[in-house]
Amino acid sequence: MKRIFIALKVEPDGKFLKMISSLQSRLQGESIKWVDTDNIHITLAFLGDTEDDRISGISKMLNSRCEGSGKFEILIKGSGVFKSLKDPRVIWAGIEPSDKLNHLNGLIINGLKDTGIRIEERPFKPHITLGRIKYLSHGDALKEAVEEFRGTELQKVPVNEVILYESILLASGPVYKPIGKFIL
């Protein structure tokens, strides 16, 4: 049994790295579990605990659905929080709406359904999780930090492949181990 998810790897640089650093600096006294920059990604589907024998079927589906679907580019833009500024749980960087990204996600979600995998039925909201908030003592600092980057274009990211990851939970934080890479 492996805890798995399907994602796009993002290598942060330039303005995006500066934004992450600024958020961490401005919120350093808060109880926030920041995502390691090596682990930054856009989740397409989270499958959770999955039997080892099902993983090969998922890999075959990803190979057939991704191959030839076409490379494209996305834009990381802005920042915000999930739940609300009054009760924030996650700090995120946004993804500019992209028909190609939505199409790729649809191919994968439908492929998972075709292979009998059940996943949560909820609208696709592409984002990059930057930090998980455990406790916040100064909500105004978070609001100001998020507002500063709300509409800022941060980084263009080439999308050339989809990665099937195993998420290994350790006391020091999660390790994301690629199980398979599927070229578009």
Q: Which pLDDT tens digit goes with each residue over 77-101? A: 999 999 988 899 999 999 999 999 9
Q: What is the mean pLDDT of the chain?
A: 94
Q: Which pLDDT tens digit goes with each residue over 103-152? A: 999 999 999 999 998 887 788 999 999 999 998 888 888 999 999 999 99
Domains of the chain: 2-183 (3.90.1140.10)
Residue positions annotated with a catalytic role: 41, 127
Nearest to 177 by CA among 159, 163, 161: 163
Nearest to 92 by CA among 128, 45, 146: 128
* C-alpha span between 161 and 170 (Å, rounded): 27
The DSSP annotation for 138-173 comes to -HHHHHHHHHHTTT-EEEEEEE-EEEEEEEEEETTE
Beta strands per DSSP E along the chain? 2-9, 31-34, 41-50, 72-83, 88-95, 127-135, 153-159, 161-170, 173-183
